[in-house]
């Protein structure tokens, strides 16, 4: 498992999240984006349609693992909804270690201006290293970095 720890500030996180989702989509990967609730999923749904005039990321909100699969390569879920066939999880908020383990690639945001989230990120980093997972730190301002992009 590979986990990318992307540093950002709270006000930049959603736009950066959209850019990463776009990057994975353009690589042909199926992406599940986990938000912290229904409102977060709805806000992200709107942002994925509008964050860039030149971009198109087909996606939908999935509320249940029993929901019929769609053709969209990106699923946005309110919380940890186990879906089959997704290769990447992008975490809009904290996600359990067990849930992360379902994916070969995870993207986690380290919020530099949120002490509680930063502590959660530090604990996740330590756990991932202890488990032998590949971790990569993406410093603030690095963006998506396609040239040295995800595996």
User: What does the pLDDT read at residue 151?
Assistant: 47
User: What does the pLDDT read at residue 69?
Assistant: 67
Domains of the chain: 2-64+73-140 (3.40.50.10110)
Whether 111 and 68 have beta carbons less than 8 Å apart is answered as no
Distance separating alpha carbons of residues 20 and 150, to the nearest angstrom: 10
Distances (CA, A) of 53 to 15, 21, 48, 114: 13, 15, 11, 30
pLDDT value at 82 more than 90: yes
Over range 50-54, report the average pLDDT. 86
DSSP at 148: G
Over range 66-85, report the average pLDDT. 88
Q: Which residue has the higher pLDDT, 8 or 146?
A: 8
Whether 62 and 75 have beta carbons less than 8 Å apart is answered as yes
pTM listed for this prediction: 0.91
pLDDT, the chain, mean? 91
User: What does the pLDDT read at residue 147?
Assistant: 39
Distance separating alpha carbons of residues 148 and 78, to the nearest angstrom: 30
Counting beta carbons within 10 angstroms of the beta carbon of residue 48, is it exposed (0 to 12), middle (13 to 18) or buried (19 or more)? Answer: buried
């Amino acid at each position: 498992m590979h986990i990318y720890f992307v540093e950002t500030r709270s006000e930049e996180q959603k736009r950066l999240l959209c850019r990463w989702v776009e990057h994975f989509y353009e690589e042909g990967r199926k992406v599940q984006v986990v938000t912290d609730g229904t409102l977060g999923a709805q806000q992200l749904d709107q942002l994925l349609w509008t964050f860039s005039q030149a971009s198109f990321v087909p996606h939908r909100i999935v509320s249940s693992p029993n929901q019929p699969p769609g053709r969209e390569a990106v699923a946005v879920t309110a919380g940890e909804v186990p879906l089959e066939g997704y290769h990447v999880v992008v975490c809009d908020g904290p996600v359990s270690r067990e849930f992360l383990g379902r994916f070969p690639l995870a993207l986690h945001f380290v919020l530099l201006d949120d002490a509680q989230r930063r502590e959660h990120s530090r604990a996740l980093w330590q756990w991932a290293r202890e488990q032998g997972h590949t971790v990569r730190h993406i410093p603030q301002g690095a963006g998506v970095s396609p040239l040295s992009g995800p595996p």
